[in-house]
Amino acid sequence: MGNSGSSNKISAQDKAILDMKNQRDKLRQYQKRITVLTDREKAIAKECLARGDTNRAKLALRRKKYQEGLIQKTDAQLAQLEQLTSDVEFALVQKDVLYGLQQGTAVLKEIHREMGGIENVEKLLGENAEARAYQEEISELLANKMSNQDEDEVEDELEAMERELNGPILPEPPTKQPEFTPEQKAQMARDRAQRRARERAAEQEQRAEPMLA
Amino acid sequence: MATSAETTTAFQYPPHYSFPPFFTLQPVATTRSSQLQSWSTFIQSYCRHHRIFSLSLIDALSTPLFHNTTLSRQLALRDAKAILTWMASPEGGHRAEFISSGSKKKADESEGGRVWIYWRRPEEWAQQLEDWVDRTGQKGVVLTLYEIVEGEASAREEFAGMDMELLRMSLGVCVKRGKAQIFSSGGEGEGVKFF
């Protein structure tokens, strides 16, 4: 409990508490004794009644009644004593709490002192804001240096990456043989003839070039 | 002190309890040592069950511990003493200890005296007490010795109803370990504070 661990000493409070607890124990013992007595009186009363001795039975019962009253009285005293004891113990706990609060406050104060007061903090915060503004300015300057071309390249790269990740978007494959009209077929034949003519021309050019070089 | 506390369940006697030769110490060394061992275990479990912390030999002889009425066999005082002496020795694991009562030595000799039965040794009790205090958050709280033994808070513990003298010995162990301090406030009652 708080600071009590630091001192293995018995304080005056401990002794006072012990006194109270001893008192309580004594009351408990007294109650035990009385309880034994009441039980005995009860037994005596029963015995006397069995023998037909009403007067003595009555007497025993009267004694029992009186002793029960004593028990009740001691009960009240016991409650009082116990309450007082727990009050004292609780006060000790409170003392511990207070001590803890004191220590904490002292430490907090010390830390504040090390931080150097409100002005210092304000100054530091001001400097901090300034420095941040400065940094922002630099960042802006640097960001503007980025040319349009660079930006384009960045975007291209991004797209390439996306393509890589998702794969190219392909059209649906046809499900049936294409059907052509006669005009289309004629058109296709013409296209083919043209392409071949172009290819032939290109070949001739290629053959001609090495000679030029 | 053969006042057996209220027993909730009947004690289970070991099988050798109904074996007549068990009640006579055997002369052969090997038999004897195993017999002593059995007696020691039996006495300890019997005392644990009935929460007996010390025995008065002369009274104990007529209790079911040493007297099997169904067999009408009884352990002789001499043999009982031999068993307890063996229990008190290092071989017996110091599970018993004769209580010396100083001046009346002669009288004790004749009637066998009183013996602690350590089904838990004071060091083990000390551990129990420390655990209990720890478990119930009573560190740094002043406790009276009476409270520990008779209080409502410890009624369910094994040390409830413990012999005051034994409690004092056990607490002495705690004190030696630096876990507790015994003190009194000038009055008669002693208190203990655990750390």
Q: In chain B, which residue's Cα lies nearest the Cα of A4?
A: B140
Q: How far is CA A121 from the centre of its chain?
A: 30
Rounded to whole angstroms, how far apart are CA atoms B114 and A199?
Answer: 128
| Residue B11 clears pLDDT 60, i.e. is over it | yes
- CA dist A99 and A89 (Å) reads 15
- Candidates B179, B182, B183, B192; CA nearest to B131 is B179
In chain B, which residue's Cα lies nearest the Cα of A20? B144
The residue among B142, B192, B195 with the most chain A CBs within 10 A of its CB, best to mutate, is: B142
**Sequence-ordered list of residues with C-beta below 8 angstroms from that of A210, at least 6 positions apart, any chain:** none
User: Nearest-CA neighbor of A16 among A28, A8, A6, A24?
Assistant: A24
Residue B3 distance to chain A (closest CA, Å): 17
B142·A4 Cβ contact <8 A: no
DSSP letter at B3 equals -
Give the helix/strand (H/E) hosting B54: strand B54-56
DSSP annotation string for B131-147 = HHHHHTT-TT-EEEHHH
Distance from CA of B56 to the nearest CA of A (A): 25
Tokens at residue B44, please?
Answer: 């300890």
Residues of A with CB below 8 A from B186's CB?
A: 15
Residue B62's contacts (CB-CB under 8 Å, 6 or more residues apart) are B74
Put simply, the chain B residues between 108 and 147 with a CB less than 8 A from any chain A CB are: 139-144, 146-147
Distance CA A39, CA A141 (A): 101
Question: Nearest-CA residue of chain A relative to B182?
Answer: A10
Q: Compute the distance between CA of residue B149 and CA of residue B51 in angstroms, rounded to an integer.
A: 12
Q: Which amino acid is at B130?
A: E
| A:B CB pairs within 8 Å | 56
Query: Which of A1, A8, A24 shows the shortest C-beta gap to B181?
Result: A8
Query: Which residue type is seen at A176?
Result: K
Chain B CB contacts of A4 below 8 Å: 140, 195
pLDDT digits 0-9 by tens, B49-105 = 888 888 888 888 888 888 888 888 888 888 888 888 888 888 878 888 888 765 444
Q: Mark yes or no for CB contact B195/A29 under 8 Å.
A: no
ipTM higher than 0.85?
A: no
Residues of B within 8 A of A8 (CB-CB) are 178, 181, 195
Q: Do A10 and B183 touch (CB under 8 A)?
A: yes
Q: How many CA atoms lie within 13 A of A191 on its CB side?
A: 6
Task: Report the amino acid identity of residue A52.
Answer: G
Query: CA–CA distance from A74 to each of A16, A24, A27 (Å)?
Result: 21, 10, 7
Neighbours of B173 (CB within 10 A): 19
What are the beta bridge partners of residue B143?
B192
User: Is a pLDDT exceeding 80 seen at residue B2?
Assistant: no
One pLDDT digit (tens) per residue for chain A, 213 residues: 444 444 467 788 888 888 888 888 888 889 999 999 999 999 999 999 898 888 888 899 999 999 999 999 999 999 999 899 889 889 989 999 999 999 999 999 999 888 888 888 899 999 999 999 999 998 888 877 667 788 888 899 999 988 888 876 777 887 888 778 888 889 989 999 999 999 998 888 877 665 554
